[in-house]
Structure 1
Amino acid sequence: MLVGYARVSTQEQETHAQTDALQAAGVGFIFSEKRSGGSTSKRPALEEMLTKIGPGDTVVVYKLDRIARSLKDLLIIIERIEAAGAQFRSLTEHIDTRSPAGRMIFQIVGAFAEFERELIRERTKVGMAAAARRGVKMGRPTAMSEEDEAEAMRLWFTGQHTKSSLARRYGTHISSIKRAIKRYHARIQPDLLNAA
C-alpha cells in the first residue's frame, strides 16, 4: 500500500499542494501535520506512520524536506522505514529506495538539501548582522515608547506599583512590563561593571 506523509511548518498555511500531489500519485492514506521539521518525537503523525507501516508498504512524500530537516534525520527515518519492511519514495526528487541506485541518489540529494538549508541559514545570519550594523531593530516593536518605558521603570523602582498596575496604567500586557524590567536590568549590569 502507498502511504503518504505531508507536513507544513507552523508558519505555512495548508498541506493541500502536497496532499493533492500524493493523491494524484495513487497514495491511499496520508498522514498529515502542521509542525516544524524537528525531531520525530515532536511530530506525532510521522511517529504514528512509522509504527503502522509494514512489509509491502511504500512511504511517499512530496519532497524530502517534508519528512526530515537534516541528512542524519533523513537516514534514521529511512532506516526505520526499511526495518519495517517498507520502501520510500519522493515525488519531487524522483527517488525510490527499492534499487541500489535509488538509495545512492537519495543520499546525495539529502546531502545537497541539507547543504542548501545551511547556506540559507548562513545568509540569513549575515543579513541580520548587516541590518543590525545599520541600526535596524530586529524583532517585534516594543509595546511602549522609550519615554513611557523609562517612566514605568522609575515608578516600578519606587516600590509603590505592581507590574499589573503599571500594565493597566500604560494600556499594555503584564508581560510587556516584565520584558521592560528585564531590558532595564540587562542595560544596568554592563554600566555597573564598567563603573567598577
Structure 2
Amino acid sequence: MPLIGYARVSTEDQTPLPQSQALKSAGCAEIHEEHASGGNRARPVLARVLERISKGDTLVVVRIDRLARSLSHLLEVIERLEAKGAFFRSIEDPIDTASPQGKFTLQVLGAAAEFERALIRERTKAGLRSARADGRIGGNPGLKARDAGAIRKVRAARVESHFQKLNASAEQWVPEVRRLRPDMPWEDVLRVVNSGLPKESQPWTEARLIRATKTFVKEGLLPEAILGRAVRASKDDRLPAIIAAIKGADPEITLQAICDRLENMRERTPRGRTKWQPSSVKMLLQRAQGLGLLTQSP
C-alpha cells in the first residue's frame, strides 16, 4: 500500500524538513511539501496530490492541522480520498481510515461537524430574527457603502468558494481534460466527461467545463497548452478517437460497458444505428490502435 506524505508550513521562513523526516520515518517514499496558509483551501500542491492519488494509496500527514484547519475541510478531503478508494492517516492523531478504529473516529468527527453546522444555522436565524425585531436590515455595511476593501474581500471569498467547488469535482473532469485536450474538440471532451459521471451528478456544459479548465490553468494545476485550438478529426477518425478516450480512462473497461457509454452519449454507430454491439467497438478500438490513439491492445 503506497504511502504518500504531505507536509505544509505557513510561511517561507519556516521549513517543512521536520515533517518530511517524520513522514519518511513513517514509510512515505513520496513526500510533497507546500508553503501555504492552513486557512487557504486553494493549495496547488495539495490539489495535485488529491488529483493524482490512486486506489489503495494512503495520504499521510504528521498532524491533522498540516492538512486542514477546519473540520469541514478535513472531511471534504477524506471524502475525496474515499471516492478514489484511497485512505488517510495522521501520525500524531488517532485517525487511520484503513482501520476500524480510524473509521469510528471519522464517524464521530462527521457527527460533530453536522452538529456544528446545525448550531451555526440556528444562531444565524436567531440573529436575523433579532435584527428584524429591532428594525435592522441584514447585510454587509461595507458593501452598502461601496467600500473598496469590503468589495475586495467579498470578491476574494467568491473566488475561493468557486475554486473549492471545482476542486471537489476535479476527479470527474480533470483527468479527461488533461488526456484529451487539445487533441480533441471541447464538444467531444464534454461528451466523454458527462458519459462517465454518476447518474446523480449534474452534467457539465461546454462553457462551464472551459471556464473550470481556465481556472485550473490560472492556478497552475493544468498546462496552458490545454486551451489551444483543437484540430478537428476527420469523420472516419472521430469515433475511434472517442472510443480510445473512454478506453484510456479505464483500461479494464469491457466492450459492453463502452457500448453503454456510447449509447449514453447518443453516439451513432458507423452505420447510423443507435444500438451498439461489442464487435463494432472492438473494430473501432483496433482502428484507434492503428491510428496511434491507443497504446494498449484492445
TM-score band by shorter chain is 0.5 to 0.7
Question: 2:284 matched to which residue of 1?
Answer: none
% identical aligned pairs: 50
CA distance in 2, matches of 1:106, 1:12: 33
Shift of 1:34: 0.6
Look up the equivalent residue of 1:64 and give its one-letter code. I
Q: How do 1:36-55 and structure 2 match up within 5 A?
A: 36-41=37-42, 43-55=43-55
CA offset digits 1:69-98 (Å, max 9, x no partner)? 100000000001111110010001132101
Whether 1:76 aligns to 2:86 is no
Higher strand fraction (1 or 2) = 1
Q: How do 1:154-173 and structure 2 match up within 5 A?
A: none
CA distance in 1, matches of 2:29, 2:18: 16
Question: 1:177 matched to which residue of 2?
Answer: none
Larger radius of gyration: 1
Question: 1:13 matched to which residue of 2?
Answer: 14
Look up the equivalent residue of 1:19 and give its one-letter code. S
Q: How do 1:98-117 and structure 2 match up within 5 A?
A: 98-106=98-106, 108=108
CA distance in 2, matches of 1:107, 1:92: 19
Question: 2:30 matched to which residue of 1?
Answer: 29
Question: 1:3 matched to which residue of 2?
Answer: 4
Look up the equivalent residue of 2:30 and give its one-letter code. F
SS at match of 1:40: coil
CA distance in 2, matches of 1:64, 1:109: 12
Compute the TM-score of the two structures, normalised by the length of structure 2. Answer: 0.35
Compute the TM-score of the two structures, normalised by the length of structure 1. Answer: 0.52
Compared with structure 1, are the counterparts of its residues 48 and 101 closer, same or farther at alpha carbon in structure 2 (3 Å cutoff)? same
**Aligned CA-pair RMSD:** 2.3
Shift of 1:106: 3.9
Compared with structure 1, are the counterparts of its residues 109 and 90 closer, same or farther at alpha carbon in structure 2 (3 Å cutoff)? farther
CA distance in 2, matches of 1:106, 1:21: 23
Compared with structure 1, are the counterparts of its residues 68 and 99 closer, same or farther at alpha carbon in structure 2 (3 Å cutoff)? same
Alignment gaps of 5+ in structure 2: 117-298
Look up the equivalent residue of 2:72 and give its one-letter code. K
SS at match of 1:37: coil
Alignment gaps of 5+ in structure 1: 116-196
CA distance in 2, matches of 1:106, 1:60: 15
SS at match of 2:98: coil
Question: 2:85 matched to which residue of 1?
Answer: 85
CA distance in 2, matches of 1:17, 1:94: 20
Size of the aligned set, in residue pairs, is: 112
Shift of 1:52: 0.5
Look up the equivalent residue of 2:21 and give its one-letter code. D
CA offset digits 1:102-147 (Å, max 9, x no partner)? 12324657969xx9xxxxxxxxxxxxxxxxxxxxxxxxxxxxxxxx
CA distance in 1, matches of 2:28, 2:12: 26
Compared with structure 1, are the counterparts of its residues 21 and 109 closer, same or farther at alpha carbon in structure 2 (3 Å cutoff)? farther
